[in-house]
Chain A
Amino acid sequence: MDTEASPFESSEMLATFLTSTPLLSMSWSLCDRANTMPSQGFVAEQMGSVGHLAFSGVQLGSGPDPTSGRNLEPLVTATNGLFFPLEHQFDGEEGGGEEEGKEPVLVHAGFLRIFLSVKSNPNFQNRMLNMIQNSKSIVIAGHGIGGTVAGLCALWLLSYLQSISSNISVLCITFGSPLLGNESLSRAILREGWSGNFCHVVSKHDVFPRLFFAPLAPLNPQLHSLLQFWQLSMTSPPLALLAEKLLDEGKSQIFRTVLASLEGLAKAEQGKNVTCGFWPFGNYFFCSEDGAICNDNATFIVKMMHSLLLNSSPSCSIEDHLKYGYYVEKASLQVLTKTSFPPAELPESSYEAGVALALQSSGIACQDESVARPAKNCLKLARRMGRTPNLNCANLAIKLSKITPYRAEIEWYKATCDQSDAQMGYYDSFKQRGASKRDFKVNMNRYKLARFWDNVINMLDNNDLPRDFHRRAKWVNGSQFYMLLVEPLDIAEYYRTGMHRKKGHYISNGRERRYKIFERWWKERPIKEEEKKTRSTFASSPKTHVFGPEWRKLESG
């Protein structure tokens, strides 16, 4: 029951699972086809109940060079609500949230423009509509720049499906794609629970997915020829040879700049934010000749990008971008056999051994200590301590039932105060309480309940709970009931201890954040038809509903 980390490392097993399915090879072959037909921009195919869609990595005359500069722009203003779930700030922050320096969600302007132009294409709209009608699940793929378009398309589709409450599954697979947006985008995707819908395949040396970690403005001409070389290699290989000549000088410049930037990011202290504008989101599937691993921890991803590039060379890093077909085929054959020999020294602990095997599969040779050690440490850091939001929620429900007796004791306290001869009510009784055992106990219970609910808010802030948690009746009602019953005691305590003289009015200065949040949940709760019926009599709780706010005002007046 305790939230302890699993004694096993499963990044490699997850990669094996994906590789054993036809998804990778199917997606790649569509991407390959899309690349050879750049004029269309995309390829779509329906296979049974699975819809496949792939965007071309070759973009013809699409206005400004997408790699030029680092032009991030806000996703929201440019798109008119297409991506609405990514827009709203999480409701942890009351009215504007003062959390320091939170950027809005930004994406690469050039890629966004390409996506919007594809999306406005009637042919695309028809195919998409068809697919949504005929599919239980949809795979969206793309190579290089096509992958970023696929990413945006998947984000849009997820937003759209959410708005029509459809349960079609979406999976986005990209091959060697550059980064799409900033850390806020990555966080918004996490918050929506969509990180499991994205899998970015990155080969050992490919420089393209690593490109945007570096400041690119000074390298503009070189990048231009690099992009041209890649595009020509996909469409007309003979011309590519010429382009390669043009590129020669630029290769090592690009390589060095990217490596240096990654070095800086990888060496950055944990927690200390060295920003580069762009940030990875979703899962990364690192593949090499020796296997693959799959992980969704952003810090780990950045460090892996660095570690793997250390053993590369300028030309390798550029050619690898064109070798995904080879990697995909190799991986799919490899999983069935027992090719790789275990590392010479295998740790006895299951976890350590799993880490050693995972690194071997990712292509970091274990002998090379200087590279392997940081990568190893990083994989361990990425080890998940928590559980999935749904499991957390279920655990929380158990905890709730365990603290309910405390609430019941306060209810009883209230009932006895109401009925006592003194006719004081529990608010005044509590405010003027003495040192009796009962008063002490009520106060303890008040603390225990506060701790529980603060923990709930805390978990919400950390994205540890399901997205729709604050709309679930159990929690909306539970928190409301708690607030009506206990907040008066908090107010009583506030005035009893003279806090109002130090801090000012309860409502504006002393009210705990949890109550503000619970009040909003209650206001925004979905109301079912049957609830609109009026009750014949009021049960005990709604009485406080009337008095709770009154007290606050009385004291402050």
Chain B
Amino acid sequence: MAVFRPGESIGFREQVVMKLCSIDMKTHQSAGKLYVCEKIRNSSELVFSFPGSWSVSDWFIRSPFGEVKVDLELFPSLKHIGLNEIATVNEAFLNRFRAILANTQFKKEVRTAVTDGKPVVFTGHSLGGPIAILATIWFLEVYIRPDPNKVAPLCVTFGSPLVGDRIVSHALRRENWSRYFINFVLRYDIVPRVSLTPLSFVEQQLQRILNFFNPRSPFYMQENVGEASGFYVTVMRNALSVVSHAACKIMGSTNLLLDTLSNFVELSPYTPLGTYVFCTGNGKLVAIKNPDAVLQLLFYTSQSNSEAVALNSLKDHLNYKHELQECLKKQSVTCLDDNHLEALPLSNDVTVEINMVLNDLGLSTRARLCLRAAGELEKQKKSNQKAIDIKMEDIERGLGKLQGYKKRCQHKVGYYDAFKLSKDKEDFDANVKRLELAGIWDEIIEMLKRNELPDEFEGRKAWIEIGTRYRRLVEPLDIANYYRHLKNEDTGPYMVRGRPKRYKCTQRWREHAERMSNESLESCFWAEVEELCIKSGNPSIRETILQLKKRVEQQIRNGDLDDDVFLKGSTFDKLLKEHSLTNLDQNDIFRGSWS
């Protein structure tokens, strides 16, 4: 277990962190300000620091967890692309961030910094942390996504509550943005853990606890041991529910009782995102990126047999400045990556080097087993990905064969209609290839659905590209097969009832990667044609057909679609003829190019 200088291992400079921490502490004093913007001396960073808030309603907008689906206009990346699921975040935090965004000054200052090429840092302590996180995501969406060469932002939080669900964390990892978020958590600090508790369990106490943190409250630092300990036990108990449920899942438990129980318990949707740096309390830092492992640590680092821990769990929240000073003096940061997790020592034997710090975090054998499971799971996902990557060659080969088929059919009526008729051996061979490819892709989709692939998978260019090629080449065959067997009469139009997930999913990959605002349905062209053919007797569809034709011509010019759709005798050609929409010249040109 190598010990690195902090700067090298997790991408921050200790002086900067120290400075950020002091700024954040100061920001709490500046009453009424939405944020504080400051330059760091002798350094180019521009720091935006967000103050915390000490009212319960700024944390939980409703019971039990106050989460809301994100607005994709504001955060277009915060979703699971393949499964088409939108991320949720804490609504109270989101509202506070929107208020800041509505402030034109803020946007202006950020824009100036970007134009000047200055690195921007968003930071916050306590309930300021979530605002810094949301601001950073917003910054990434607005500036980095269109232009990855711009100077990346940095987000540093101290004792921040959790902000979003696992889709947020998934999306940040997919976009490779996760590395810009660094969250410091003092070993016993209760605040990050409160997010795992349903509001109804702590509603009575939470305001009094917040008053304890509020420098302007008469109860500031006025400890009430009894209350602190009740609060600590409640929060820890709920945290344990969340982490033990998660641990059962990552350990691969298939017991049905697990699912039954989750219907009886309100489990927090929130999960950690980005890198977490845990402070041991005696000057050491442990950095960890695996979100499953961080979740486990949120419970286990604070698990204790001592009575005093309840009070520490409050005091620690105000102790970051002092603690970090100690840590950064020692400059001891241990990084636990997935390889380390998987082979973590189970006993607390001090002769093993890494145990010096694991023992300081107070990790029991059970805790270590959970961390191992988290590491093992990520390893499993990576090896699944490897297995899938190997199949890319098979896909490539299948696509090659079908490409050849398509080309040969261009001398006739086009591969769509040839396949629909399926008269020759060649058509049949194409059908076998289609089914083989479907098998591979369905497996990939199934793995995505079960979360068996690394978060990064859907962001990989090679897969997005081959997915698009696959969709454009093979989906017409699926449509041909659908209408050949008149499945539309059983189940309804292809687009409504028949379209396989493998095409919807790969389509969304491309739409997201290219930041398209409209659906890119070029591969479904034939389904549209078929539906129009069914209504063909109706003269009122002439206009629709004309529109379609214009769109198709545009898509051909863009290279999204091939011009063989106009081949003489194809279903589309017939439809155009029937409504006397053929453009003879053009048709000749296309025919000419193939003869």
Contact = CB atoms under 8 A, between A and B. Distances in A.
Given A342-B365, A353-B365, A535-B486, A336 B240 contact: yes
Which of under 10, 10 to 19, 20 to 34, or 35 or more describes the interface residues of A? 35 or more
B69 to A, nearest CB: 21
A536 interface: yes
A193 B372 contact: no
Interface in B413-444: 422, 425, 428, 431-432, 435-436, 438-439, 442-443
Given A335-B237, A541-B485, 16 more contacts: A1-B387, A1-B443, A7-B376, A8-B251, A14-B257, A170-B260, A193-B256, A195-B256, A348-B346, A387-B254, A397-B442, A397-B446, A401-B435, A402-B439, A404-B438, A412-B425
Given A7-B376, A335-B240, A348-B346, A137 B263 contact: yes
7 contacts: A6-B252, A13-B247, A14-B255, A196-B258, A294-B255, A398-B442, A539-B486
A338 interface: yes
A530 B489 CA distance: 9
A171 B247 CA distance: 21
4 tightest A-B CB contacts, nearest first: A196-B256, A6-B252, A8-B251, A169-B263
A539 B485 contact: yes
A337 B303 contact: yes
B401 to A, nearest CB: 13
Contact of B446 (A171, A193, A357, A394): A394
A357 B366 contact: yes
Nearest to A50: B264
A54 interface: no
A479 B144 CA distance: 51
A371 B311 CA distance: 43
Interface in B436-490: 436, 438-439, 442-443, 446-447, 449-450, 452, 484-486, 489-490
Interface in A1-44: 1, 5-10, 12-14, 16-18, 20-21, 23
A396 to B, nearest CB: 11
B55 interface: no
A408 B432 contact: yes
B244 interface: yes
Contact of B248 (A14, A384, A408): A14
B203 to A, nearest CB: 14
Given A1-B387, A398-B443, A10 B347 contact: no
Given A17-B261, A23-B264, A346 B237 contact: no
Interface in B328-367: 346-347, 362, 364-366
B337 to A, nearest CB: 18
Interface of A: 1, 5-10, 12-14, 16-18, 20-21, 23, 50, 136-137, 139, 169-171, 193, 195-197, 199, 283, 294-296, 332, 335-339, 342, 346, 348, 350, 353-354, 357, 384, 386-388, 391, 394-395, 397-398, 401-402, 404-405, 408-409, 412, 415-416, 530-531, 533, 535-537, 539-541
Nearest to B306: A337
A350 B250 CA distance: 13
Interface in B388-414: none
B308 interface: no
B431 A388 contact: no
Contacts of B435: 401, 404-405, 408
Contacts of B264: 21, 23, 50, 137, 139, 169, 171
B260 A171 contact: yes
Contacts of B305: 337-339
Interface in B214-259: 233, 236-238, 240-241, 244-245, 247-248, 251-259
Contact of B346 (A346, A398, A404): A346
Contacts of A294: 255, 257
Contacts of A394: 446, 449-450
A441 to B, nearest CB: 11
Nearest to A196: B256
B265 A6 contact: no
Most buried by B among A136, A294, A391, A404: A404
B258 A14 contact: yes
Nearest to A394: B446
B428 A10 contact: no
Given A21-B264, A539-B486, A386 B254 contact: yes
B369 A353 contact: yes
A535 B233 CA distance: 66
Given A350-B373, A353-B365, A13 B251 contact: yes
A401 B501 CA distance: 14
Contact of B450 (A196, A342, A386, A391): A391
B282 interface: no
B244 A20 contact: yes
A169 B247 CA distance: 23
A409 B435 CA distance: 11
A398 B445 CA distance: 10
A398 B257 CA distance: 27
A105 B476 CA distance: 54
Given A13-B248, A348-B346, A8 B257 contact: no
Nearest to A139: B264
B443 A350 contact: no
Contacts of B384: 1
Given A6-B252, A388-B254, A23 B265 contact: yes
Contact of A17 (B245, B432, B490): B245
Contacts of A387: 254
A338 B248 contact: no
A283 B255 contact: yes
A207 to B, nearest CB: 25
Contacts of A395: 446
A346 B450 contact: no
Nearest to A361: B366
A26 B364 CA distance: 29
B304 interface: yes
Contact of B253 (A14, A350, A408): A14
A20 B257 contact: no
Nearest to B383: A1
Contacts of A541: 485
B485 A6 contact: no
Given A193-B256, A296-B255, A16 B233 contact: no
A21 B265 contact: yes
Contacts of A386: 254
Contact of A346 (B347, B376, B442): B347
Interface string B251-286: 111111111110111000000000000000000000
A346 B365 contact: yes
Nearest to A194: B256
B233 A196 contact: no
Interface string B371-391: 011001000000010010000
A310 B375 CA distance: 39
A237 B362 CA distance: 45
Contacts of B428: 408-409, 412, 415
A539 to B, nearest CB: 4
Contacts of B489: 533, 535-536
Most buried by A among B240, B253, B442, B492: B253
A337 B304 CA distance: 5
A16 B432 contact: no
A402 to B, nearest CB: 4
Contacts of A397: 442, 446
B365 to A, nearest CB: 4
A51 to B, nearest CB: 11
Contacts of A354: 369
Given A23-B265, A196-B260, A397-B442, A16 B244 contact: yes
A20 B259 contact: no
A140 to B, nearest CB: 12
B494 to A, nearest CB: 15
Contacts of B347: 342, 346
A509 B303 CA distance: 67
A13 B486 contact: no
